[in-house]
Chains A and B, each alone.
Chain A
Amino acid sequence: MIPQELTRGYGFIGELGLDGSVRGVPGVLSCVYEAKQAGFDAVMVPMANLAEGGLVDGILVYGVETLTEAVRHFTGDGGQMAARTKWEPTEPVIGADFSDIRMQFMAKRAAEIAAAGMHNLLLTGPPGAGKTMLASRIPGIMPKMTFAESLELTKIYSVAGMLAEGGEMIRVRPFRAPHHTSTIPALAGGGRPPTPGEVTLATNGVLFLDELPEFRRGSIEVLRQPLEKKRIHISRLGGGVEYPAGFMLVAAMNPCPCGYYPDRNRCTCTPDMIRRYTSRISRPIMDRIDIHAWMPGIEVRSLTEGPDGESSAAIRARVERATLVQRKRFEGSPYRFNADVPGELTEHFFPMKTETGKLLREYAERTGCSARVFHRLVKVARTIADLGESREIETVHMTEAIGFRNEEADNVGV
């Protein structure tokens, strides 16, 4: 028997076996974090989860292998205390580098802007243009994760039971690429108890949807809430759960069913076929994609051997500078990136010069675009200005942002 007052302030996490052993469980990091928030002084966790639990600062974490050990901890001496390591942001180590990509200037510039402001990105291009190649390199140019971001991500993976043995914190931004046959629960999360889906696992990183029109419509529409709120709510019998889902959406698609439009020498799709193909992605989803880049096919690129691309490190250096500007801007607010700001606050955070506003309003009137597109253009222009180290959103920044949209496309061939 242990006197109750000895265990005051303690929390206990683990699975007790019939033989008295304490087995590892998923989600320890979140539990310990919550225990600390709830005012516990110490937590006892399974030895297998000790390193993971020990990541949380400000609370004592003990690891035990058996129930006997746990008892001995209070009566005599037993249980091991977690050794804490200091947080060091690391260089994201990603094998593939941007320098592998020749030409594709528009797409690379779009990727840089997207990474700097956490904007959603759509890549359109024929098969073989390098859409997947480019998308998979985007986490490598995104800013290094802060401790808070890393902790958030590690908690998610801990809940999902996907943390590697040893419970190292996740320091590299995720790149999740669910196949287009993925079910809605796989994307949004589900099951009992509800486990995080791809939208949550991609938090603070990239959710890559290749062949976007091939996804079932319901699967794509599921993205609407997380794209807007950066969280996803999963309703289940007996209550719902809410998971974070603050990812950058990178989607890729062919311009038409055969993939070669607008090259009329190769594409034989009728305008109607093209329209039907692109309309598989609803307008509300298109509106939520801030930046749209069109990648040309191999002919244009092979005109001549293009120059070697810039390295991921060089691009990331510019992105990091833009991130610092944003951090200052959003001090004391819940936002981290320009893209996080909700539509109704864009005016507050991103004041525009008169000429810039006039330019944008002219575009909006000409194309009849939605208010959502209007606000997203402001945010993208702000990110472009941040990359250009400009205090004001100049007309040139807005012009470039508008160049990444195609609300007025008349869609004819080349």
Chain B
Amino acid sequence: MSEYDYESALWFCSVVTDSKIRKRLLAAFGTPEGVRSADEDALVSEGGLKEDSASLLCSSKADNRIGGILRKLDQANARFLWHEDSRFPKCLLAIDDAPLGLFVQGTLPAQSLPAVAVIGTRQSSAYGESVARQLGRSLGDSGVVVVSGLAMGIDAAAHQGCLEANGTTVAVLGSGIGSSYPRENEMLYRRIVKDGCVISEYAPGIPAMKHHFPHRNRLIAGLCDGVAVVEAKNRSGTLITVDRALEQGKSVYAVPGRITDRNSDGCNHLIREGAMLITGPGEILADLASTYGLMVTDGCDGHRVLAGTESSECPIDSSKNSKKKKMALESEEKIVYAFLRLSPKHFDQLVWESGMTPRELAQILGSLERSGWIEKAAGGWYRCSE
């Protein structure tokens, strides 16, 4: 472990946020310690800072900002890693505009482990979320680290799935660690910290800003060996992560979708551009093995089948399926079940297709829901269980 002054590095990364200025200052003074010990005149003459920013920088040394940050890190049981630290993820050193320091809450996974980012839109469909969750689950089950951005929708589902399989998952935030953004994912945040880790370039207390996210995406790409896109609209932030991944020479996988679904436009576009089309974790695992010579702990046998698909290649599945097959259904229930898909259908459409009365249908849907065959996606909308 190379020696560096923890507090100076922490001060430097917390106070100097612009990456160009960081580089200029480090070039002039060598280390964060050097920058910290420089006086106002030196910062202006040698560091090329404007006078007002130089005085701001100096005053930040005087106030107890570092103390506050240290206390917050302590409370969150988190730590700061300067890029020269041996524990700093090596894969992030090589990327363009590499981060100088990182805040880490939880335990960083071993650097030798394969990692895959599972990402997509926040405005996901029920289908998209269930695919993300199953991918997360299967990858986690196979010992692959699942990386994502802890956003609502696909990201949250991917983390969730991985945790369900007792896998290791890493969340990269666009805000300072210690607070979850969005707040709805608070519970998920805590579980990730417990079983994996949360990473951010931003000091504790820094709120999520719009411009943080594209910047953050280069870390998601950098931390993984491949990026799997589950659902993305055209021109979405997800595609920025894909661009970063391509720049860094990582694999890109995309889950295909219906051509009428706006949420699949991005994925279908990626496939057209050459991304690998995936229908389950098997293709990802095979690609990791061939491209990187990485070993995964579990073979195809441990994997599952997406309800309705009969693919030979380790397709996705849920453990419920095997249980379900043993249960008998009443013939009317069978009829209704046959009309249901993984993507939700509205009650009225089912009435129309099945020719049943609303009363009969409501009763059959209710009993199918109770026995776990189907679930309600939103009020009045039903779909097959995963």
A residues contacting B by CB (< 8 A) are 103-106, 108-109, 124, 255, 261-262, 264-265, 267-272, 275, 292-296, 300-301, 303-304, 306, 359, 362, 384, 388, 396, 399-400, 402-403, 406, 408-414
Contacts and interface: CB of A to CB of B under 8 A. Distances in A.
A296 B346 contact: yes
Nearest to A362: B370
B343 interface: yes
Given A264-B262, A412-B124, A272 B367 contact: no
Interface stretch (B63-71, B277-285, B306-314, B375-383): B375-383
A202 to B, nearest CB: 25
Nearest to A265: B262
Interface of B: 122-126, 128-129, 152-153, 182, 184, 260-263, 343-344, 346-349, 351-352, 358-359, 362-363, 365-367, 370, 376-381
A409 B379 contact: yes
Given A269-B123, A412-B377, A414-B381, A103 B358 contact: no
Nearest to A262: B378
A304 B122 CA distance: 32
Nearest to B343: A414
26 contacts: A105-B358, A124-B379, A262-B381, A264-B123, A264-B124, A264-B125, A264-B262, A270-B123, A272-B182, A272-B184, A275-B184, A292-B379, A295-B380, A296-B349, A359-B370, A399-B370, A400-B362, A400-B363, A403-B365, A403-B366, A410-B377, A412-B378, A413-B126, A413-B128, A413-B263, A414-B344
Contacts of A402: 366
Contacts of B184: 271-272, 275
Given A414-B344, A414-B377, A414-B381, A265 B261 contact: yes
A294 B379 contact: yes
Contact of B352 (A103, A400, A408): A103
A195 B358 CA distance: 42
A261 B378 contact: yes
Contacts of B263: 264-265, 413
Contacts of B358: 105-106, 108-109
B337 to A, nearest CB: 16
The winner among B129, B362, B365 for most chain A CB atoms within 10 A is: B362
Contacts of A396: 363
B330 to A, nearest CB: 12
A294 B367 contact: no
Given A261-B378, A265-B263, A270 B348 contact: no
Contact of A262 (B122, B128, B153, B377): B377
Contacts of B376: 406, 408-409
Contacts of A270: 122-123, 152
Contact of B347 (A267, A271, A294): A294
Contacts of A296: 346-349, 380
Contact of A303 (B129, B352, B370, B378): B352
Given A300-B348, A300-B349, A409 B378 contact: yes
A151 B152 CA distance: 56
Contacts of A265: 260-263
Given A412-B378, A413-B126, A414-B344, 20 more contacts: A106-B346, A106-B347, A109-B359, A255-B378, A262-B378, A262-B381, A264-B125, A265-B261, A271-B123, A271-B153, A293-B380, A294-B347, A294-B378, A303-B352, A306-B352, A403-B366, A409-B376, A409-B379, A413-B123, A413-B377
Contacts of B365: 403
Contacts of B129: 412
B386 to A, nearest CB: 12
A105 B124 contact: no
Q: Which 5 A-B pairs rank lowest in CB-CB distance, beginning with the nearest? A: A294-B380, A399-B366, A109-B358, A406-B379, A296-B346
Contacts of B367: 399
A105 B360 CA distance: 12
Nearest to A107: B348
Contacts of B377: 262, 410, 412-414
A141 to B, nearest CB: 15
B362 A403 contact: yes
Contacts of A409: 376, 378-379
A399 B352 contact: no
Contacts of B152: 270-272
A301 B122 CA distance: 28
Contacts of A292: 379
